[in-house]
Amino acid sequence: MPEADQVTRPAPGIWVLRTPGSAYVVSTGGEDVPVAVHWGAGVDDATAVALAAVPPDPQRASWESPLDGREEYPSDSGLRFAEPALAVRFPDGQRTVRWQPPVDEVVAGDGWSELRLRFHELTRQLRLTLHYRVLDGLDVVERWATLDAGEPLEVRRADSAAWCLPRRDGQRLSSLHGRWGAETQVQRTTLPAGRTGLGSRRTTTGPAHNPWFAVDDGAASETAGEVWSVALAWSGTWHADLEVLPNHRVTARVGAGHEEPLAHLDAGGSFTTPVSVGVFSDGGFGGASRAWHRYAHHVMPSGGETRPVLYNSWEATGFQLDEANQLALAERAAAIGCELFVMDDGWFGKRVDDHAGLGDWTPNPDRFPDGLGPLIKHVTRLGMRFGIWVEPEMVNPDSDLYRAHPDWVYATPGYPRHELRNQLVLDVGRPEVAEWLHGWLDALLSGHDIAFVKWDMNRPVTDPGPGPQWAQRHAEGVYTILDRLRRDHPGVRFESCASGGSRVDLGILARTDQVWPSDNTDAADRLHIQEGFSLAYPARAMTAWVTDAPNFLTGHRLPLRFRFHVAMSGVLGVGGDLNAWTADERAEAAQLIALYKQIRPVVQHGELHRLRSPRTSTAPALAYARGDEVVVFQWLHRHRFGEPAPPARLAFLPPDGTWVDAETGATFPAGYLRVHGVDAGLSRDHDSAVTVLRRRS
């Protein structure tokens, strides 16, 4: 059952939602939909009532609205000038909606409590329900909305939530931006007056912006200060519009879709938005990240598991794979301690390059004359599990599938189509396409001992054709297929990949066990990519490979130890050509993999503390803490002026106790580690170290 007093109603029209470290207060003190009263540190009921009585903007000019920046779900009509969260049109052209006073309901389930505020439109057959949910032990507020139509209407916009942020001086926006090969780059900038837009029109979450952002007063640090952050649990097109209003209030509207209309509803139709999630932390960006990580572990279907060390054969063989070279690589991978062998692209149809074969998901008979069975059995005998790469949403025009069903792809009739990577995108929103897609994947998993599926998507949709909901139907189609596969094959684990990190969000993490943050595996670049990733998502969800040097993308030549230490701060994988590694390199890899297996419970399930950022330091460092064990990672990316890297201070440790270095046996008082830190002796370019500390009982 949920914890007591998670949702209270201290006075008529005032509701308080509580998490372990925050409170969220709304009231009906506005025109019709609720207004935001407080989102921040915990408050008691009496304080909530007093805050609800504070009048809005007494110096407001006649040009301004008392509602703007305060409403939890503003429409696009009435005394409102800010961007709306809801916009509808009825067949007669009416756009105005006004709501009768809400009927409230508090419901509780296993570990959660939910406030539902139900509204009826004054003159039309339309109902709106605003949902607010809090979860036991987690510092999050989940919000979403439901529209139920009693008559036809067009939904031009229906956001998940409008988040009204407290007024602070110098509001600063933190977001994760990027492109292919450079995803989740941290950007911090003062919020300008007016609108700032984030989003994606690329079918998926997209590489340009991640659906997460944070706002602070410009003074928050990694360890201190108030931070408000918001995410959208959605893997399709999306938008987040932040607005600094003339009254200096800041509001952020977050939702699915990127252009209107969003949906057409018939009488009896319903539309439910994705969930948007909010986190408040008074422990700086680090405190906010740890709250997000705990929430992600709750959302992920296997969040309590420890992920295996995988080997992926792509960079070793590319498209030129066959049973013999996969067997040879599997022998090498098992010898260095890998636990999961993943065969990548090129195993099916006529897939000898990227021009053909997508859609024909049966083993290539020239490469696998007896099917996949012999390879899988051999991998299993080596003590590993078997995984496989698929790109289910795609088709090559040169494929049996396309020749049989050319109408299954996104295209605009009568117009030339656009091909990227010599492939087209299947319309997964069509029931017959979704059923076919699920069918062959179900057969593949039913007929083989496959433990892991890497689900890739290497191009966005173009030429989607008519209809307002194609992007939503596509994302929901992918969700439905994954949900069915997980239900029917509970032992199979899934990884989300989309040309790298173009489908990384809480929506896909509710259905997959890990995600691929970027095709860029250069360790120096990954320090930046992985730092941004860690602001919102945990190490347990982040696949990180050790690949060959020089790297295919950057050309950087980095020591094997440095590459391993970067990848070991997430879910460790190996993607290099093991046949080209020297005996010494394979021996070193085996030692580092053995070390990772010792520390991965702390890395994958511990709490992250970012100690020095690669954006501001040539010697970045971070630590994971779990119980009486701490794992410290330090890198010296670039050596300057003969200066060694400074020790990594562990200010997060409790002030008492003694800690022991697991490798050297040296002991340190907690105060020493908090004030002086861990000195790993890094003094040359690309030095790196992992230090394991255990608290002495």
Please list the active-site residues.
456, 519
Give 109's strand partners.
112
Element (H, E) at 179: none
Residue 244 contacts by C-beta under 8 Å, 6 or more apart in sequence?
171, 191, 192, 193, 194, 196, 250
Q: Alpha carbon of 601 to those of 609, 631, 692: distances in Å?
A: 16, 10, 12
Query: CB neighbours of 458 closer than 8 A, spacing ≥ 6?
Result: 391, 394, 421, 423, 498, 499
Beta strands in 423-574 (DSSP E): 424-425, 452-455, 493-496, 514-515, 543-546, 571-574
Residue 616 makes CB contacts below 8 A (sequence gap 6+) with none
CA distance 450 to 384: 11
What is the distance between the alpha carbons of residues 550 and 275, in angstroms, rounded to a whole number? 42
Written as one string, the DSSP assignment of 449-486 is ---EEEE---S------S-TTHHHHHHHHHHHHHHHHH
Q: How far is CA 615 from the centre of its chain?
A: 21
CA 607/CA 294 separation, integer angstroms: 9
Please report the DSSP string for 587-606 in residue order: HHHHHHHHHHHHHHHHHHHS
Rounded to whole angstroms, the Cα distance separating 474 from 201 reads 13
Q: Residue 310 in contact with residue 576, Cβ under 8 Å?
A: no
Separation of CA 647 from chain center: 32
Can you name the residues that pair with 455 across neighbouring β-strands? 390, 496
On whether the CB atoms of residues 392 and 437 are closer than 8 A, the answer is yes
Give the C-alpha separation, 407 to 420, whole Å: 18
Containing 165, the helix (H) or strand (E) segment is: strand 161-165
Cβ contact 461:425 at 8 Å: yes
Specify whether the CB–CB gap between 367 and 320 falls below 8 A.
no
Q: How far apart are CA 18 and CA 230, in angstroms?
A: 17
Q: What is the rounded CA–CA span in Å between residue 603 and residue 613?
A: 18
Q: Are 211 and 181 in contact (CB under 8 A)?
A: no
Find, among 206, 203, 226, 205, the residue nearest to 215 by Cα.
226
Strand partners, 98: none
Number of H helices, E strands in the chain: 13, 37
Q: From residue 669, give the alpha-carbon distance in Å to each of 607, 630, 651.
A: 21, 14, 12
d(CA 165, CA 196) in angstroms, rounded, equals 15
Amino acid of residue 180: W
Helix axes 523-536, 284-299, angle to 10 degrees: 80
For the chain, give the number of residues: 697
